[in-house]
Amino acid sequence: MTDPLLIFDVILGLAIVALAVAVLAMHDRFAMIVLFIVFGLLSALAWVRLSAPDVALAEAAIGTGLTGALLLTTLHHIRATPPAPVPVPAGAIIANLGLCGLIFGGLVVAFLSTPLQAPGLALPVAQNMEASGVAHPVTAVLLNFRAYDTLMEVVVLLAAIVAVWMVERGTAQAPSPVMGEIYRGFARLALPAIVIIGTYLLWVGAYAPGGAFQGGAVLAAVGLLLLLSRLYRPQPAHRPLARLGFVLGTAVFAGIALLVASGGRVPFEYPAAHAKTLILLIEGMVTISIAVTLAALFHGREPEYASVSENHK
Amino acid sequence: MNDLPTLDWPTAVVFAPLAGAILAFAWPRRAAGIGLASVLLTTAAVAALALRVLAEGAVVTRLGNWGAPLGIDLRADGLSTLLLAMTAGVGLFVSLGALDSYAPARADERTRRYFWPLWLLLLTGLNGAFLSTDVFNLYVMLEVIALAAVGLTVLGGGREAVRAGLEYMYASILGALLFLMGVGFVYLELGRLDFAGLIAAEPAPALTAALALMIAGLLLKTALFPLHFWLPGAHANATAPASALLSGLVVKVSLYIFLRLTQYMPLPDELLVTLMGTLGAGAILWGGIQALRAERLKLLVAWSTVVQIGLIFVAFARAGQVGLAESWKAAALLILAHAVAKAAMFLSAGRIKDEVGHDRIQDLDRSPIRPTLAQFTFALAAISLIGLPPSLGFAGKWVLMEGAMAAGYWHWVGITMIGTLLSVAYFSRVLAGFLRFDRLRTPVAEHQGWALADTAPLVLALAALSLGLVAAPILAFMEIGYPFGATP
Amino acid sequence: MVIQILALLLIVLGAFFFVAGTIGLLRFPDTLCRLHALTKADGLGLGLTCLGIALLAGSAGEVSRIVLIWFFVAVSSAVCGHLIARHVRRSARASTEGS
Amino acid sequence: MNSGLIFGLTGIAVFAIGLFGALVMVEPLRRVLALKLCSVGAGFLLVVGAWQAPPDMPDPVPHALVITGIVVMISATAVALALIRRLHSLERASDE
**DSSP symbols for chain A:** ---HHHHHHHHHHHHHHHHHHHHHH-SSHHHHHHHHHHHHHHHHHHHHHTT-HHHHHHIIIIIIIIHHHHHHHHHHHHTTSPPP--PPPHHHHHHHHHHHHHHHHHHHHHHHTS-TT--TTHHHHHHHHHHHS-S-HHHHIIIIITHHHHHHHHHHHHHHHHHHHHHTTTPPPPPPPP--HHHHHHHHHHHHHHHHHHHHHHHHTTTSS--HHHHHHHHHHHHHHHHHTTSS---GGGHHHHHHHHHHHHHHHHHHHHHT--TTPPTT---GGGHHHHHHHHHHHHHHHHHHHHHHHHH-SPP--GGG-----
Do residues A257 and B19 lie in contact, with contact meaning Cβ atoms separated by under 8 Å? no
Pick from D12, A152, A309: which is nearest to B206 by CA?
D12
Quick one: closest CA in A to B207, which residue?
A: A110
Do residues B121 and B260 lie in contact, with contact meaning Cβ atoms separated by under 8 Å? no
Tell me which chain B residues have a C-beta less than 8 angstroms from the C-beta of A296: none
Tell me which chain B residues have a C-beta less than 8 angstroms from the C-beta of D31: 170
Smallest Cβ–Cβ distance between A47 and the set D26, D32, D47 belongs to D47
**Side-chain-side CA neighbours of residue B197 (13 Å):** 24
Cα A145 to Cα A150, A275, B70, B486, distances in angstroms? 10, 12, 6, 29
Which tens digit of pLDDT belongs to each residue from D46-84?
A: 999 998 887 778 899 999 999 999 999 999 999 999 999
Smallest Cβ–Cβ distance between D42 and the set B147, B158, B181 belongs to B181
For residue B107, what is the DSSP state?
Answer: S
- Cβ neighbourhood burial of A172 (10 Å; 0-12, 13-18, 19+): middle
Tell me which chain A residues have a C-beta less than 8 angstroms from the C-beta of C87: 177
Smallest Cβ–Cβ distance between A180 and the set C72, C76, C86 belongs to C86
Quick one: closest CA in A to C90, which residue?
A: A178
Interchain pair B150, A163: CB under 8 A: yes
| Separation between Cα atoms, residue B415 and residue B420, nearest integer Å | 9
| Separation between Cα atoms, residue B19 and residue B71, nearest integer Å | 23
| CA D56 to mean position of chain CA atoms | 28
Smallest Cβ–Cβ distance between A189 and the set C75, C83, C87 belongs to C75
**DSSP symbols for B227-292:** S-TTHHHHHHHS-HHHHHHIIIIIHHHHHHHHHHHHHHSPP--HHHHHHHHHHHHHHHHHHHHHHH
Q: Which H or E run includes B138?
A: helix B135-153
Quick one: closest CA in D to B143, which residue?
A: D72
Other Cβ atoms within 10 Å of C2 Cβ, number: 6
Q: Is residue A253 part of a domain?
A: yes
Tell me which chain B residues have a C-beta less than 8 angstroms from the C-beta of D94: 159
For residues B343-380, one letter each, b for 16 or more C-beta atoms within 10 angstroms of the residue's C-beta and e for the rest, the string is: bbbbbbbbbbbbbbeebebeebeebeebbebbbbbbbb
For residue B177, what is the DSSP state?
Answer: H
Question: Do A230 and A300 fall within a single domain?
Answer: yes
Domain membership of residue C33 as a residue range: 2-98
Distance from CA of A180 to the nearest CA of D (A): 26
Quick one: closest CA in B to A117, which residue?
A: B188
- Reduced to 3 states (helix: H, G, I; strand: E, B; else coil), residue B74 is strand
Tell me which chain A residues have a C-beta less than 8 angstroms from the C-beta of D38: none
Q: Which of residues 57-96 of C touch A (CB under 8 A)?
A: 72, 75-76, 79, 82-83, 86-87
CB pairs below 8 Å between A and B: how many? Answer: 158
Quick one: closest CA in B to A128, which residue?
A: B66
Distance from CA of A79 to the nearest CA of C (A): 15
Q: Is residue A6 part of a domain?
A: yes
| A38 touches C: beta carbon within 8 Å | no
Smallest Cβ–Cβ distance between D91 and the set B139, B159, B184 belongs to B159
Do residues B307 and B231 lie in contact, with contact meaning Cβ atoms separated by under 8 Å? no
Interchain pair C75, A183: CB under 8 A: no
Cα B13 to Cα A247, B76, B148, distances in angstroms? 20, 11, 18
| CA B172 to mean position of chain CA atoms | 15
Interchain pair B185, A111: CB under 8 A: yes
- Domains, chain D, in order of start with CATH, read 3-95 (1.10.287.3510)
| Separation between Cα atoms, residue D10 and residue A18, nearest integer Å | 10
pLDDT of residue A309: 41
Interchain pair B191, A121: CB under 8 A: yes
**DSSP symbols for B399-410:** HHHHHHHHHT-H
Q: Which amino acid is at B431?
A: L
Cα B313 to Cα B87, B224, B275, distances in angstroms? 20, 8, 10
Interchain pair D31, B176: CB under 8 A: no
Which tens digit of pLDDT belongs to each residue from A128-162?
A: 988 888 889 999 999 999 999 999 999 999 999 99
Q: Which residues pair with B134 in a beta bridge?
A: B194
Smallest Cβ–Cβ distance between A182 and the set C72, C79, C87 belongs to C79
Q: Do chains A and B touch (3 or more CB pairs under 8 A)?
A: yes
pLDDT of residue C97: 63
Pick from C60, D36, A106, C7: which is nearest to B210 by CA?
A106
| Separation between Cα atoms, residue B67 and residue B141, nearest integer Å | 19
| A34 touches D: beta carbon within 8 Å | no
| B388 touches A: beta carbon within 8 Å | no
Interchain pair B121, A158: CB under 8 A: yes
Question: Do A148 and A61 fall within a single domain?
Answer: no
Q: Do chains C and D touch (3 or more CB pairs under 8 A)?
A: no
- Cβ neighbourhood burial of B429 (10 Å; 0-12, 13-18, 19+): middle
| Separation between Cα atoms, residue D3 and residue A235, nearest integer Å | 50
Interchain pair A43, D44: CB under 8 A: yes
Interchain pair B137, A120: CB under 8 A: no
| B25 touches A: beta carbon within 8 Å | yes
Q: Which H or E run includes B426?
A: helix B410-435
Other Cβ atoms within 10 Å of B287 Cβ, number: 29
- Reduced to 3 states (helix: H, G, I; strand: E, B; else coil), residue B337 is helix
| Separation between Cα atoms, residue D70 and residue D44, nearest integer Å | 12
CB pairs below 8 Å between A and D: how many? Answer: 267
Q: Give chain A's domain count.
A: 2
| Separation between Cα atoms, residue C3 and residue C11, nearest integer Å | 12
| B135 touches A: beta carbon within 8 Å | no
Backbone phi and psi for residue A208, each to the nearest 5 degrees, phi listed first: -150, 170
Pick from B360, C68, B145: which is nearest to A193 by CA?
C68
Q: For every one of its 488 residues, what pLDDT tens digit does chain B have, with 9 covering 90 and above?
A: 334 445 789 999 999 999 999 999 999 888 999 999 999 999 999 999 999 999 988 899 999 889 888 999 999 999 999 999 999 999 999 999 888 888 777 777 778 889 999 999 999 999 999 999 999 999 999 999 999 999 999 998 888 999 999 999 999 999 999 999 999 999 999 999 999 888 888 888 999 999 999 999 999 999 998 899 999 999 999 999 999 999 999 999 999 999 999 888 777 678 888 999 999 999 999 999 999 999 999 999 999 999 999 999 999 888 877 778 788 889 999 999 999 999 999 999 998 888 888 888 888 877 777 788 888 999 999 999 999 888 999 999 999 999 899 888 899 999 999 999 999 999 999 988 887 655 555 555 555 556 777 889 999 999 999 998 999 999 999 888 765 554 43
Tell me which chain B residues have a C-beta less than 8 angstroms from the C-beta of A155: 18, 121, 124-125, 144
- Reduced to 3 states (helix: H, G, I; strand: E, B; else coil), residue B444 is coil
ipTM: 0.92
Q: Give chain C's domain count.
A: 1
| Separation between Cα atoms, residue A46 and residue A67, nearest integer Å | 19
List the single best residue of A8, A26, A78 to mutate versus D (max D Cβ within 10 A): A78
Domain membership of residue A126 as a residue range: 122-313
Which of A79, A112, A131 lies at the terminal end of a domain, its last residue? A79
Lowest mean pLDDT among A7-16, A77-86, B138-147, C19-28: A77-86
Distance from CA of A189 to the nearest CA of C (A): 10
pLDDT over threshold 60, residue C43: yes
Mean pLDDT of A31-35: 93
| Separation between Cα atoms, residue B335 and residue A122, nearest integer Å | 39
Pick from D31, D74, D65: which is nearest to D45 by CA?
D65
| Neighbors of chain D by Cβ distance (3+ pairs < 8 Å) | A, B
Tell me which of C46 and B452 has the higher pLDDT: C46
Smallest Cβ–Cβ distance between D87 and the set B163, B177, B191 belongs to B163
Which of A20, A54, A79 lies at the terminal end of a domain, its last residue? A79
| Separation between Cα atoms, residue C65 and residue C60, nearest integer Å | 9
Cα D79 to Cα A60, B165, D28, D35, distances in angstroms? 20, 10, 13, 13
Length of chain A equals 313
Tell me which chain B residues have a C-beta less than 8 angstroms from the C-beta of A115: 188-189
Three-point CA angle A257, A259, A263, nearest 5°: 110
Interchain pair D51, A52: CB under 8 A: yes
Which tens digit of pLDDT belongs to each residue from A192-251?
A: 888 888 888 888 888 888 888 889 988 998 888 888 877 788 888 888 999 999 999 999
Pick from A279, A285, A252: which is nearest to A129 by CA?
A279
Which tens digit of pLDDT belongs to each residue from A59-78?
A: 999 999 999 999 999 998 88
Interchain pair D19, A100: CB under 8 A: yes
pLDDT grade, residue A306 (50/70/90)?
low
pLDDT of residue A203: 86
pLDDT of residue B415: 93
Backbone phi and psi for residue A57, each to the nearest 5 degrees, phi listed first: -60, -45
| Neighbors of chain B by Cβ distance (3+ pairs < 8 Å) | A, D
Residues 6+ apart with CB under 8 A from A87: none
List the single best residue of A51, A213, A308 to mutate versus D (max D Cβ within 10 A): A51
Distance from CA of C86 to the nearest CA of A (A): 9
| D42 touches A: beta carbon within 8 Å | no
| B65 touches A: beta carbon within 8 Å | yes
Residues 6+ apart with CB under 8 A from B338: B248, B252, B305, B308, B312, B385, B393
Q: Would you say the C-alpha torsion B430, B435, B441, B443 has a positive or negative sign?
A: positive
| Separation between Cα atoms, residue B468 and residue B357, nearest integer Å | 34
**DSSP symbols for C39-81:** HHHHHHHHHHHHHHHHHH-SSHHHHHHHHHHHHHHHHHHHHHH
- With both helix axes pointing from N to C terminus, report the angle between A90-112 and B159-190 in degrees, rounded to the nearest 10: 30
pLDDT of residue A56: 95
| Separation between Cα atoms, residue B122 and residue B99, nearest integer Å | 17
Other Cβ atoms within 10 Å of B452 Cβ, number: 13
Q: Where are the domains of chain B?
A: 273-488
| Separation between Cα atoms, residue B178 and residue B209, nearest integer Å | 11
Smallest Cβ–Cβ distance between B151 and the set A109, A163, A244 belongs to A163
Smallest Cβ–Cβ distance between D76 and the set B147, B154, B159 belongs to B147
Question: Do A191 and A311 fall within a single domain?
Answer: yes
Tell me which chain B residues have a C-beta less than 8 angstroms from the C-beta of D41: 181
| A243 touches B: beta carbon within 8 Å | yes
Q: What is the pTM of this model?
A: 0.94
Do residues A303 and A238 lie in contact, with contact meaning Cβ atoms separated by under 8 Å? yes
